[in-house]
Amino acid sequence: MFRIPWKHAGKQDFRKDEDAAIFKAWAEFKGKLTDGGQDNPAAWKTRLRCALNKSPEFKEVMDRAQLDISEPYKVYRLVPISEQGVVMPEKKSREKASRRSKRRRSDSDSDDASDDKQIKREEATSQLVSFSGCGAYAESFHVFLLAREDNDSSVSISTAQDSFNVAVYYLGQEVLKRQIQGTDVRVTYLPSSLIPPTPAVLKGRFPRILLPEPPSTLPAGPELQALFTLLPFMEKGVVLTSTPQGVYGKRFCQGRVFWTGPHTTMPDLHKMERNTEPVLLFNKEIFKQQLDHFRSNGGEPPQCGFTLCFGEELSNSEDPSKKLIIVQITLPWEEQQVQNAQSIFESITILQSLASQSPLGEITLNLVTVPSPTNESIGCGTF
């Protein structure tokens, strides 16, 4: 959750450069900075509020707002990708009506009300740009994070199970490799001229993997030119979110995105449609079933990742190294579980082999204490 200063523009202590900074940045980004040649902080505020209300990525938290204090603010939360677009229409209508009713009771900003009709007409004639695509302006917003007050709703920022290993390949050549800790990551492209320096205060923000410019080591030719042409269409990218059920993906870029993974049930191409419900790319329940089978029976270990192909079709039978842009995602926690299962299965196989060579067909294990590098004791079997 984050809060936005929400001071009435008509108040005596209103500071345009400070209290309206985020509204001004959004208006400038939208190309609506002036109204009749003059600044209009009230219209700026309404424009951003309309954008936040329309976007599925944000939801107003009305019971956390403080509008009657000297420095008033509203509170919004980032909506997890798994919750976006899954509200039933009837329920959604009731929620919108409830929000409108609560706004009328709690928000006395007359400057918002006076500009609503004009702003909404303008917004209806233009495509709503995702808030996360604001470029340099989004980097400069001063956001205040709110810690949850209730003990039973404390936020865990990331766990060992929520991380991604991301590798990016251009024409089969690895150009980027990173590990992301947390439940969410956006893989996107941003022209180098628009990439702002990241201040220390934003190090904990929603993580992004920025597709790099093609390196000079790639061979010149029509494929390289096609890569340069394709990259701008990957702006806004794809958002990946890890949930207890699995890893979901949602496409926001103009360019097409295809994917392959170990848990697909259809042999056809798998295309990630734009601005639709999130797609389940990795099913953790199926992975657990495959892992249990592998622990007991050996054989082929379960796969721990999936592949995204940007701008081109990709099927399970095709070679990813021939594609312009490939992003391979592996899940470190799942990989560790497979490695542990392999070690256990190999140990059992060795013990079974030793038992078969014993005259009595059995062996005895004695546990002894072996110091580990962390000064903890672990059990080790001896024969």
Q: Hey, is 89 helix, strand or coil?
A: helix
Q: What pTM was estimated for this model as a whole?
A: 0.52
Please report the pLDDT score of residue 215 as a whole number: 92
Residue intervals of the chain classified under CATH 2.60.200.10 are: 163-340
State which amino acid sits at residue 136. A
CATH of region 2-84: 1.10.10.10
* 136 half-sphere exposure, CB direction, 13 A CA radius: 8
Spatial contact of 167 and 327, defined as CB atoms under 8 Å apart: yes
Both tokens of 146, joined, read 């709110």
Cβ partners under 8 Å of residue 277, min gap 6: 84, 85, 86, 250
* Token pair belonging to 189: 């492209």
Q: Write down the architecture of domain 163-340 according to CATH.
A: Sandwich (2.60)
How many other C-beta atoms lie within 10 A of the C-beta of residue 121?
9
The helix-helix angle for 21-29 and 41-54 (nearest 10°) equals: 70
**Location of each CATH 1.10.10.10 domain in the chain:** 2-84
Structure tokens that stand for 372 in this block: 């580990």
Nearest Cα to 261, choosing from 244, 247, 245? 247
Strand partners, 247: 242, 282
The reported pLDDT for the residue numbered 345 is 73
Specify burial of residue 295 (Cβ count, 10 A radius: 0-12, 13-18, 19+). Answer: middle
Residue 347, classified by CB atoms within 10 Å of its CB into exposed (0-12), middle (13-18) or buried (19+), is exposed
Query: Quick one: angle between helices 284-297 and 332-357, nearest 10?
Result: 20
8 A C-beta contact, residue 222 and residue 272? no
Q: What is the pLDDT along the chain (383 residues), one digit of tens a residue?
A: 899 999 887 777 888 888 888 988 888 888 888 766 678 888 888 889 888 988 888 899 988 888 888 889 999 998 887 777 544 444 444 555 555 545 544 443 444 444 455 555 544 433 333 333 333 333 333 333 333 333 333 334 434 568 899 999 999 999 999 999 889 999 999 877 655 554 433 444 568 899 999 999 999 999 999 999 999 999 989 999 999 899 999 999 999 999 999 988 776 788 999 878 899 999 999 999 999 888 888 888 999 999 999 999 988 888 888 899 999 999 998 888 888 888 877 777 777 777 677 666 565 665 555 565 544 444 444 44
Phi and psi at 210, nearest 5°, equal: -90, 120
Q: What is the pLDDT of residue 341?
A: 82
Q: Look up tokens 């208006």; give the residue.
A: 27
C-alpha span between 54 and 245 (Å, rounded): 27
Q: In the Cβ-directed half-sphere of 277, how many Cα atoms lie within 13 Å? A: 6
